[in-house]
Amino acid sequence: MRKEYDVVVVGGGPAGSTTARFAKTPANSVVLFEKDREIGVPVRCAEATSIPDLGRFVKINPCWIASTVTRARLISPSGQAVLLNLPANGAVLHRRIFDHDLAQIAADQGVEVYTKADVYKIERSDRYWRVYVRHLAHDYCLKAKIVIAADGVESRIARFAGIRTQTVLKDIESCAQAMLANIDVTAGQIDFYFSSKWAPGGYVWVFPKGDHCANVGLGVNGAHFDGRSAIDLLNAFISEKFPDAARLTCVAGGVPVAKSLKQIAVDGLLIVGDAARQVNPVTGGGILAAITAGNIAGTVAAGAIDQADWSLKTLKEYQIEWDKGVGKDYSRFYNIKEWMTELSDPELDEIAELLHDIPPTEMNILTVFKVALRNKPTLLFEAIKLFAKMI
């Protein structure tokens, strides 16, 4: 470990590894610190994403793909199912392998990587950061020009830079997930259950990872908590729907369904991924957002080091690019999420009923939204945008 780096990346998820990869040039030094003992573990993710979108940033390795997905089944509170074709080929990933490979791609560019490396404090000192890291029972203090806060939902690093990252209750889903084995799943299909019985203000997902295996999880919206925690609800769902399942993993997680942070760049620091609340607020999907943000942030950081100006003046380019691209779409989706989380069970059933008469060939996400939003025409424009960007 050196005493000085041009760029220090905190967090080895997709946002951190992608930022590190694009920040690294032959002329600069980049290090990535991951607090856990292994990149990619634990997997706090339902693991679904869109293959063509992912392919814009990284060459797809078939080993990452646990199963491919072409359609979704939406199940209403009374049990009515709506089948719809997805606009782009989706996949359920093996995040464990995927995250590992993204870090390896960064390492191949010359990024140094340390695991079991906990960045517990950063301090501003003139134009630099002092970065305090604890690694294998030793404390180190490094000097860095740029710090990348890719430290996930707890978003601790950004707070050292004076940015308020606390999330309000309606903008976070409390989630629990198990990977179930010995269950029947339909190949190529992902299931969503909407019901206040199972997931108040959220949904249950069943995402197949193989022939008899799936990620089964749910999110409860913070503003809709009724005394039952995510793990209680998940246990109830599994007992009813998959009584014979074996549970290969069980994880907890918080998924931000917020607008991304207003400020994601300051002097010498960029915030990416879940830490910046860069998540599709309708689906809760964050993989593509993390990689898109990492691509921009890394490129901007590399340019800043090259120009020897890592003040906000240069780094704000990241903010501008994010805000006019994915950030703009997501702030529209946020309005749809606000509407969706308030739907009652009878309203959800009514939507499913209306969709019942639509021929399967015409059934897609846009149709669903057209029907669902028939009383909310102002949201239809956002829905059309959403259709183009789904998963």
Partner 1 sequence: MIKIDQECCDLCGTCVSVCPVDCMELKEAMLVIDNSRCNSCQICVRMCPFKALELVD
Site residues, partner 1 (CB under 8 A): 35-36, 42, 44, 118, 120, 134, 152-156, 159, 165-169, 172, 174-176, 222, 225, 229-232, 251-254, 256
Q: What secondary structure letter does DSSP report for 273? A: G
Check: CB of residue 17 under 8 Å from CB of residue 24: no
69's enclosing H/E stretch is strand 65-75
Q: What is the C-alpha separation between 90 and 53, in angstroms, rounded?
A: 9
Peptide bond into 360 cis (omega under 30): no
The residue (of 165 and 283) whose beta carbon lies closer to partner 1 is: 165
The owner of tokens 């969709």 is: 355
The residue (of 90 and 286) whose beta carbon lies closer to partner 1 is: 286
The residue (of 148 and 185) whose beta carbon lies closer to partner 1 is: 148
Q: Using CA of residue 93, residue 99, residue 104, residue 110, what is the dihedral sign?
A: positive
251's enclosing H/E stretch is strand 246-256
Q: Minimum distance from CB of 327 to partner 1 (Å)?
A: 19
Burial 276-297 (b: 16+ CB within 10 A, else e): bbbbbbbbbbbbbbbbbbbbbb
The residue (of 159 and 197) whose beta carbon lies closer to partner 1 is: 159
Q: What is the C-alpha separation between 123 and 159, in angstroms, rounded?
A: 11
Q: Minimum distance from CB of 347 to partner 1 (Å)?
A: 25
The residue (of 295 and 341) whose beta carbon lies closer to partner 1 is: 341
Q: Which amino acid is at 385?
A: K
Q: Minimum distance from CB of 341 to partner 1 (Å)?
A: 15
Check: CB of residue 70 under 8 Å from CB of residue 279: no
Q: What secondary structure letter does DSSP report for 61? A: P
The residue (of 74 and 218) whose beta carbon lies closer to partner 1 is: 218
The residue (of 29 and 165) whose beta carbon lies closer to partner 1 is: 165
Q: Minimum distance from CB of 45 to partner 1 (Å)?
A: 11
Q: Minimum distance from CB of 228 to partner 1 (Å)?
A: 10
Q: Minimum distance from CB of 349 to partner 1 (Å)?
A: 27
End-to-end Cα distance, the chain: 39
The residue (of 73 and 159) whose beta carbon lies closer to partner 1 is: 159
The owner of tokens 């032959």 is: 26
Q: Which amino acid is at 204?
A: V
Q: Minimum distance from CB of 25 to partner 1 (Å)?
A: 32
Q: Minimum distance from CB of 227 to partner 1 (Å)?
A: 8
**Residue 37 vs residues 41, 125, 193, 239: alpha-carbon distances, Å:** 8, 30, 35, 33
The residue (of 152 and 327) whose beta carbon lies closer to partner 1 is: 152
CB atoms within 10 A of CB 12: 28
The residue (of 27 and 137) whose beta carbon lies closer to partner 1 is: 137
Q: Minimum distance from CB of 99 to partner 1 (Å)?
A: 16
Q: Minimum distance from CB of 219 to partner 1 (Å)?
A: 9
CB atoms within 10 A of CB 317: 18
Per-position DSSP letters for 360-380, written without gaps between them: GGG-BHHHHHHHHTTT-HHHH
Q: Which of 14, 68, 58, 72 minimizes the C-alpha distance to 387?
A: 72
